[in-house]
Structure 1
Amino acid sequence: MEFISKRKILNSEEQNRLAHWLLANSNNGRCNDRAQKEAASMFGIGRRTVRRFWSKTKEKIQSGAPVIFSSSRKGVIHKDRMQVDVEKVKSLSILERSTIRKMAVKLGVSKSLLGNWIKRKELRPHTNAIKPLLTDVNKIARMKYCLSNVVYDATMARPQFSADGQELFDGKIGIFPFTTVIPAIKEKWPKSAGIKHIIIQQDNARPHFNKDDPDFIVAANSDGFKIDLVCQPANSPDLNVNDLGFFRAIQSLQDDKMATTVEGLVQNVVTSFQELSSVTLNNVFLTLQGCLTEIMQAKGSNDYKIPHLNKARLLRLRMLPECIQVDEELLKDSLQHVLQFEKDVGTSYDIGALMVHFGFN
């Protein structure tokens, strides 16, 4: 089979270099075949192109014009490129424009095309990331929380998959009052899981359960389970799996369902929870791990961008990690930083094992 190479198109800089090279290797206004052959090999073009360029160069010299070339190629223009239907976009409701995936479905286009429109600034995305104001105490508590999760990450209730990608546990216990959480966890927890040490995380809202409640302690330490209850750091929705992405994923599903009553809305939320894939939930847990690393690098601040890990591509390649590795130097620096402050800050987060490991005791 004969190999046919594509014709190379020189940019402005290459054209000017070629013209000056030909002039430098010419003699009395003539550029011999040997020089033209060498130029064709040097610039990766055909000898016919070199001859044509030499003719243009001589024409400029004879007319007294400077030997300067500029490429006429301004980029490929696709006449069949699909354009944004502005009127159709305007007709979409706010909910229908809330995510790229949903908007692409409503417009009848692919997500990649919609992403290209945004890149070409034919559409302008809008996000409203209002972040809580953090005190120094908040920042230290956040760092201690991140460090404690380096130890306890394996106990989080995230989906579990076999080596060939088969789902073993979807990670979804259910939606119900807190009083029924522990029985539901024990019922749904996979029998194959050797670890039964579970940490339930809740925010700092007052209606939540007290970890010192006698009934909770009895229920949490029976049937071979050891269940602890911790609160996330104050002003830290980015350290809560639900706030970080789980609720957003559910909302994008339930927004497509019509509800005219409170009962209907509740049912839509429950249905959307059931429809949410374990892959999406697992991705949220990985994103949380990425946020833990970013927070430690930012010394507890929330002034960082949520990391994008290309999870979809890694999943297709079967290279999606179970957990994100943390650099030891970052852990040491974080421990040194938190130890500069009062020891009574963030005492509910156990970092003793890390301190012993790195010799801080």
Structure 2
Amino acid sequence: MLTLDLNIPPGLQVHDKGEGSNGRRQGRLGVGHAGCGRGQAVVRHIGSSSGAERHLRFGWRHSRGFAEHEDSGAYSAHDDGAFVSHDGGAYSAHDDDALGAHDGGAFVSRDGGAYNAHDGGAYGAHDDDAFGAHDGGAFVSHDGGTYGAHDGGAYGAHSDDAFGAHDEGAFVSHDGDAYGAHDDDGHDTDQQDEEDGHGTDHNAEDHENNNIIDLNVMANRRRRTFHTDDDKRLLYTAILEINGRGPLKRGVTKKISAKHKVPVRVLRRIWDNGRRGGGVNAVINKRAGRVGRKCVTLDSDALAAVPPNDRTTIRDVAGALNMAKTTVHRLLKEHELCKHTNELKPMLTEENKKARVTYCISNLEPASMPENPVFKDSFNVVHIDEKWFYRTRKTQGVYLGINEPNPVRHTKNKGHIEKIMFLAAVARPRYDMQGNCTFDGKIGIWPYVEWKPAQRRSPNRPRGTLELKPCDRVGMEKSREYLITKVLPAIKEKWPQEDRCKPIFIQQDNAKTHVRPDDPVVCAAATQDGWDIRVVMQPLNSPDTNALDLGVFNSLQSAFEKKMPKNLQEILQKVDETWNEHDADKSNRVFLSNQAVMREIIKHKGSIDYDLPHLKKKSFGRGKLPRRLPCEPEFVVAALEYVA
């Protein structure tokens, strides 16, 4: 028994399966023409072949037809027939018939024609051919056949053929019609004009590419539509209006599906959920709130129970809390966990705390006490202090390109890197009403160095050459010398003219090498020429009360390290450059922070265990910072009681 399925979609494979005693046949037809695309057929053949499996394919042949035909027939036919027939017939026809035709035709024709042909033709041919044949054949016939015949055939014939022939063929032929020509050809299509040369197969390639379907794209397409709760209620109400409360009637879901463009199965599921649940509210989504993986939260109590020495790194915290390191990192980014850098602070005695409170209260305006205490503006105070500047750091971070070599740094001894001590003096900058800086407050910075003659000769310089030597020891004599010869002259030179008659205070720490406030030599030099300059001491163990230690030195150090000096002379040069480039606004912000620090000292009764306050000083703009900060009266009263 043979079975043929007509109206086969383009692009499918054709199988010829035989069923019998362990037998099976499979064949493929791949016929593609302009005007109809590709047509395939599925053939089932019951045969007696034992254990045989044969694959038959139509290919590019030039002689004697194709695929095991004996006498110019088609597809294992005997005599001038088509597609498994006996005598000139086509596919189970009786007499010279093709594919269910009446008389000598092919592929559903009325009178010897083929698939809407005129006269015995096939599939749009002119004269008594079948499927692009010339003479009485159907689907690869004897004379003028198609798909690999000898003479006048189509699909790879020599002469007067179609689908890749040499002369008057179709589908890129040499001379004549292309891909479905009119003369002796199958498939009426447009003619491809070529300039007296060889035809190309670009049209065939284009035709193949147009029929290519990317199955990966189709498989990854999202086909399901998710309906909201309101949409589901609307659809359930529409079904209820037409159907009523009884069983679902025939045709109701089809009608609503065509109206709302919703699949029938979705409508039935919505209806079933509504009936089982008891109404329109039963069709809504059952997922309440957010779904998916729950976020891991931090147990602050569990973290606080871990000793501080066991949570110094992310790995330690993850192990102590039984979390992943990525989870701890996410909590850190979400500010549920914070990293703290702990610094060593001076140990204060009770006398130190009271001295700190007394110093801070002395910096309050006496006229504002005790109702509205306000700090002094500190425009007449010069802060001085010493600082070491090293030639380089032990470790220095830098960003490099992929192929850039690593920079190399050398020193004779990492424990004794070249360094120079500097003495710096800074006052609070001043601005006019328009915010312009009238006094930058940079009194000066001076190195503790000496120029000494070389004691021996060397390959680099002869004996007696002056060499730069850092001071080995800075004692009180050196401090007095620098204070008299450098600090005081710089103050007298740079101080604003309008305040020269007012007292000026030089604040320094309580180091043993510093001169005392009542030093007669310093006092004589400070009061010379009518100046009133006084030396005062800041409280013991209180670097936070000095503007240089509070922030100016940090700013200078950060800028200096970027210059990377290579020797002692370059240290002097780079420090001077850094000092000249230092912005006066930074010093102004540091002096305002000094007032906030003194307020915290009063609030904590002299303790140094407080958080450095943040005032968002940059938001005020250049020269627009407040000159004074207030202090809470209750804290001042409590501090006075503490020191009493």
User: C-alpha distance in 2, partners of 1:178/1:258?
Assistant: 29
Q: What do residues 129-156 of structure 1 show as CA deviations (whole Å, max 9, x unaligned)?
A: 2111111111001111111122463422
Distance 1:69 1:173, change over 3 A: same
Indicate the percent of aligned positions where both proteins have the same amino acid.
39
**8 Å contact kept, 1:203–1:231:** yes
The offset of 1:283, in angstroms, is: 0.5
Distance 1:64 1:282, change over 3 A: closer
Distance 1:64 1:125, change over 3 A: closer
**8 Å contact kept, 2:358–2:643:** yes
**8 Å contact kept, 1:196–1:224:** no
Q: Which residue of 1 aligns with 2:470?
A: none
Distance 1:332 1:224, change over 3 A: farther
For residues 150-299 of structure 1, what are the structure 2 equivalents within 5 Å? Answer: 150-151=364-365, 153-156=378-381, 157-176=427-446, 177-179=482-484, 180-193=486-499, 196-299=502-605
Candidates 59, 62, 65, aligned match of 2:282: 62
Q: Which residue of 1 aligns with 2:640?
A: 335
User: C-alpha distance in 2, partners of 1:252/1:285?
Assistant: 19
For residues 6-155 of structure 1, what are the structure 2 equivalents within 5 Å? Answer: 61-62=281-282, 69-71=288-290, 119-120=333-334, 127-151=341-365, 153-155=378-380
User: C-alpha distance in 2, partners of 1:267/1:182?
Assistant: 23
**8 Å contact kept, 1:201–1:230:** yes
Distance 1:64 1:325, change over 3 A: closer
User: C-alpha distance in 2, partners of 1:217/1:70?
Assistant: 78
Q: Which residue of 2 aligns with 1:36?
A: none
The unaligned stretches of length 5 or more in structure 1 are: 1-18, 20-28, 31-54, 75-116, 340-361
Q: Going by fraction, where is helix more abundant, 1 or 2?
A: 1
User: C-alpha distance in 2, partners of 1:137/1:327?
Assistant: 24
The offset of 1:165, in angstroms, is: 0.4
User: C-alpha distance in 1, partners of 2:588/2:285?
Assistant: 66
Distance 1:60 1:315, change over 3 A: farther
Distance 1:64 1:309, change over 3 A: closer
Residue type of the partner of 1:70?
Answer: G
**8 Å contact kept, 2:501–2:532:** no
The answer on 1:310 being equivalent to 2:608 is no
User: C-alpha distance in 2, partners of 1:238/1:60?
Assistant: 71
Q: How many residues align?
A: 245
Structure number with greater CO (CA < 8 Å, separation at least 6) is 1
User: C-alpha distance in 1, partners of 2:288/2:280?
Assistant: 10
**8 Å contact kept, 1:138–1:233:** yes
Distance 1:223 1:125, change over 3 A: farther
User: C-alpha distance in 2, partners of 1:131/1:59?
Assistant: 71
The offset of 1:332, in angstroms, is: 2.3
Residue type of the partner of 2:621?
Answer: L
User: C-alpha distance in 2, partners of 1:333/1:193?
Assistant: 35
Q: Going by fraction, where is strand more abundant, 1 or 2?
A: 2
**8 Å contact kept, 2:517–2:535:** yes
Provide the alpha-carbon RMSD of the alignment: 3.5
**8 Å contact kept, 2:359–2:539:** yes
User: C-alpha distance in 2, partners of 1:265/1:124?
Assistant: 37
The offset of 1:60, in angstroms, is: 8.5
SS of equivalent residue, structure 1 residue 308: coil
The answer on 1:323 being equivalent to 2:628 is yes
User: C-alpha distance in 1, partners of 2:528/2:637?
Assistant: 37
The offset of 1:120, in angstroms, is: 4.6
SS of equivalent residue, structure 1 residue 150: coil
SS of equivalent residue, structure 1 residue 223: helix
Structure with larger Rg: 2
User: C-alpha distance in 1, partners of 2:344/2:439?
Assistant: 34
Q: What do residues 227-255 of structure 1 show as CA deviations (whole Å, max 9, x unaligned)?
A: 11111111111111111101001011101
**8 Å contact kept, 1:143–1:295:** yes
Residue type of the partner of 2:436?
Answer: Q
User: C-alpha distance in 1, partners of 2:440/2:640?
Assistant: 34
User: C-alpha distance in 2, partners of 1:195/1:147?
Assistant: 25
The offset of 1:300, in angstroms, is: 0.2
Q: Which residue of 1 aligns with 2:472?
A: none
**8 Å contact kept, 1:161–1:168:** yes
Structure 1 segments (4+ residues) deviating >6 Å: 55-60, 63-66, 123-126
Q: What do residues 59-104 of structure 1 show as CA deviations (whole Å, max 9, x unaligned)?
A: 88426987x7315799xxxxxxxxxxxxxxxxxxxxxxxxxxxxxx
User: C-alpha distance in 1, partners of 2:546/2:292?
Assistant: 52
